[in-house]
């Protein structure tokens, strides 16, 4: 069995994800999101979709970007 890097659970159906040369082991997508997904710079929510980026800062939506003074970003509809 493999031990999850997020919660420590030993699980026989764990999976591995590689990012920037480092390999992580997870027992669920929930744990993978907790470790791998970026957090919005304004509200802290984990971004599991595309999000919005400005000068290397990631936001979950245009509303959060606007709260941080970034007015040129728009949500896609």
Express each pLDDT in 45-54 by its tens digit: 999 998 999 9
CB-based contacts of 59: which residues, under 8 Å, 6+ apart?
A: 40, 41, 42, 51, 52, 53, 65, 68, 70, 73
Residues 59 and 25 in one domain: no
Residues 48 and 73 in one domain: yes
Q: Taking the C-alpha atoms of 51, 53, 24 and 33 in order, what is their torsion angle to the nearest 10 degrees? A: -20
Domain count of the fold of the chain: 2
Residues 56 and 21 in one domain: no
| Average pLDDT value for residue range 19-41 | 96
Residues 2 and 22 in one domain: yes
- What is the domain range of residue 77? 38-77
pTM given for the model: 0.79
């Amino acid at each position: 069995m493999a031990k999850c890097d997020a919660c420590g659970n030993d699980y026989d159906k764990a999976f591995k994800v590689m990012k920037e040369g480092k390999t992580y082991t997870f027992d669920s997508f929930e744990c993978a999101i907790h470790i791998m997904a970026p957090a919005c710079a304004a509200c802290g929510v984990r971004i599991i979709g595309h999000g919005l980026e400005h000068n290397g800062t990631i936001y979950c939506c245009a509303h959060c970007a606007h709260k941080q003074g970034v007015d040129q970003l728009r949500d896609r509809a």
